[in-house]
Structure 1
């Protein structure tokens, strides 16, 4: 247990925040502390904030670190500062309105870090247009002994199908053990009925064509040595871990955008470690390459009507 540090007041842009327990170790294996987590989010903010802005955010909080108790928080905490913005979203499961946090600026991001929010999970929609997905997403999840290497092969098969329909797609690591493929849409004519139809149809198509490599159903008994193409993320009421979010793994790894050349290299060399990135590496990559995921926010594309 790290020694308790005294609370400090810091000015973040035009806001004054009180930060406490900055010496608390949140990743014991790495000795990575709360203050370092907040520093990472502050430095990556120029890349991260555009991907959070306007999107209902689910907090994944670990107040005692990655080995401690975790809880999801959909309703923005009632003790939030008055300047933290929220989005009202009707919850069918709870039969009431929920008020999600919106991360519109750096002070809000730092405040979330103070709460022990390690992971940031966003809607695929903007709060102002919830029925409209801004992107189609596949979460590629390997069933042991498969690894991210096998996910790279499946991602390439998906990328080839989209390229054949004149659509660009982009990859990021999950920051855990898998890979995620995003197809930017940013098109008001696209709804979740269509993204779900295309994503499920394509997952089923690949399962038929590559039955030894791909499965589209969640059942664990079907997944050994295969890659689950999780198409079900394409839903108005689900969230996906944000690009540049830290993950609550043994080490402070990050959901990191990667190039298709990197995906192909990982597949060719068969080395899953090629697509593992910690916070320092991600900051260095951003400084050198900029935001590889920026097109996901801006590129307008139209899906075909069927697979």
Structure 2
């Protein structure tokens, strides 16, 4: 079996009768499930079971539930999700090249992939290929519901099989894809049947291209490709090789320009000092080259020196249209030459990791209107001038901001909120969702005390079979996190545990550790803080920028 193929399109179809899905960047894959262990088949019919063991092991765990419905064939995409609309192709590509089982297993633990499913081709051995797409989608949702699998995609969900949601509102979906820097949108005709191995106009792919400015540096007559470069720390670095997208006239003009003004590098190549800038359309950057590049336009408005690594990163991560940035060049961390635009780019790139900690939490931010080295203030209330897309929750006369979306995060970033503080519970839970121990040494010179305390606490946690995580805190300390089952333990119950652990460590090492709250009475000991873990109190979120700088 070979997957049904997509036809490229420039625009989303305007007429009715279409379904729209997020396009993910990964390996197209069929899941053919006949026995306990299914097969993952690539578009070239290569078996991928060895490369993606986390998918296979997950399938085997649900085999008792699904076995009566076999044989089943699902169509989907193997992806490493960064958010609900964007996946990282590099991780999937890297996995596909791995050969050693131990290396694959280690990568699967660090970068677990999903099979995001969008079609059902066979159920109980009966082919559904000739049914209309709407019918197949309905059957797919029924199947996933019966298996208690997610019918809406959630990148934080550990279920390795998830269903892609189709939408009727193409404009709304396109805005989401652009906001989250996704690859594009797929349009499928509602009445389309599944035609394996064929490329038809019933399934269309519309790419979310980004446009990067480069200066042309080389032309190779042998293959017809032009080389584009950018400046990285005053050194020219090749980032793209392209020839598609040029008209015949544009291609001939560039060829003549290189041959007339360039320096001959070999029998078939000419090299040129940076002088001509062009915009290249692409879908991503793989660390060495722009992916799927093609010529877009000449860019006569900039100088070659403006084609820089920093400019490329910003062009690869355009801000959502909903975000109006003020004073992007404003210095935020002058010592590190970091301005507001740099900060917003950081928030975009870290959002897959930061947003899950902020999700559904009543947010308190610390704003630094004149930069990180100047005055600051706490803010809990949603200001009156906040845009309509900012979600809020009214609690005891405070209209808290709830930061579930990247648009909200970037708006707060533009307001120069440099610290994000969150309570220990979500707005839908009455009890803490994690325990946090704060290990505060007297100075950075005693950081080894924090390490020692963390190791001793880990030994205690292991005795109770508790999973814990460590993170840095401020400039000199550590914090230990223990996730909790939702609404199972009260603050009073967690206090008994946190106090026991801290008192035990102080009894074991009284010269190293203390629970004394007054700094002047601690001497040169590390402070074990369990008082802060309480209802109504907040803690700085992991990946919060002030924790990074």
TM-score range, shorter chain: 0.7 to 0.9
Deviation at residue 183 of structure 1 after TM alignment: 0.7
Do residues 37 (structure 1) and 343 (structure 2) align? Answer: yes
Q: Cα deviations across residues 17-55 of structure 1 (Å, max 9, x unaligned)?
A: 211111111112112111111110011111111111101
Q: Distance in 2 between matches of 1:203 and 1:108?
A: 37
Q: After TM superposition, which residue ranges in structure 1, 4 or more long, deviate above 4 angstroms?
A: 10-13
Q: Distance in 2 between matches of 1:66 and 1:223?
A: 29
1:158 maps to which of 433, 445, 457: 457
Q: Distance in 1 between matches of 2:474 and 2:497?
A: 25
- For these two proteins, the number of residue pairs brought into alignment is 233
Deviation at residue 146 of structure 1 after TM alignment: 4.7
1:140 maps to which of 439, 451, 456: 439
Give the alignment's Cα RMSD to 1 decimal. 1.7
1:120 maps to which of 416, 420, 430: 420
Q: Distance in 1 between matches of 2:330 and 2:432?
A: 38
Gap regions ≥5 residues in structure 2: 1-316
Between 1:49-58 and 1:194-203, the stretch displaced more is 194-203
Deviation at residue 145 of structure 1 after TM alignment: 6.7
Q: How does 1:42-53 map to 2 (within 5 A)?
A: 42-53=348-359
Structure 2 CA distance for partners of 1:89 and 1:147, relative to 1, 3 Å: farther
Q: Distance in 1 between matches of 2:497 and 2:490?
A: 11
Q: Distance in 1 between matches of 2:409 and 2:538?
A: 18
Q: Cα deviations across residues 274-303 of structure 1 (Å, max 9, x unaligned)?
A: xxxx5xxxxxxxxxxxxxxxxxxxxxxxxx
In structure 1, the residue matched to 2:333 is 27
Q: How does 1:278-293 map to 2 (within 5 A)?
A: none
In structure 1, the residue matched to 2:387 is 81
Deviation at residue 222 of structure 1 after TM alignment: 2.7
In structure 2, the residue matched to 1:298 is none
Instruction: Give the TM-score normalised by the residue count of structure 1.
Output: 0.72
Structure 2 CA distance for partners of 1:60 and 1:104, relative to 1, 3 Å: same
Do residues 100 (structure 1) and 413 (structure 2) align? Answer: no
Instruction: Give the TM-score normalised by the residue count of structure 2.
Output: 0.41
**Contact 2:437–2:529 at 8 Å: present in 1 too?**
yes
Deviation at residue 86 of structure 1 after TM alignment: 1.1
**Contact 1:175–1:246 at 8 Å: present in 2 too?**
no
**Contact 1:137–1:180 at 8 Å: present in 2 too?**
yes
**Contact 2:380–2:399 at 8 Å: present in 1 too?**
yes
Deviation at residue 88 of structure 1 after TM alignment: 2.3
- 3-state SS of paired residue (1:183): strand
2:514 maps to which of 205, 215, 237: 215
**Contact 2:422–2:540 at 8 Å: present in 1 too?**
yes
- 3-state SS of paired residue (1:127): coil
Structure 2 CA distance for partners of 1:51 and 1:24, relative to 1, 3 Å: same
Q: Cα deviations across residues 183-202 of structure 1 (Å, max 9, x unaligned)?
A: 11033221111112211222
**Contact 1:59–1:117 at 8 Å: present in 2 too?**
yes
Q: Cα deviations across residues 121-172 of structure 1 (Å, max 9, x unaligned)?
A: 111100112x310000011111137532210110111111111111111100
**Contact 2:444–2:476 at 8 Å: present in 1 too?**
no
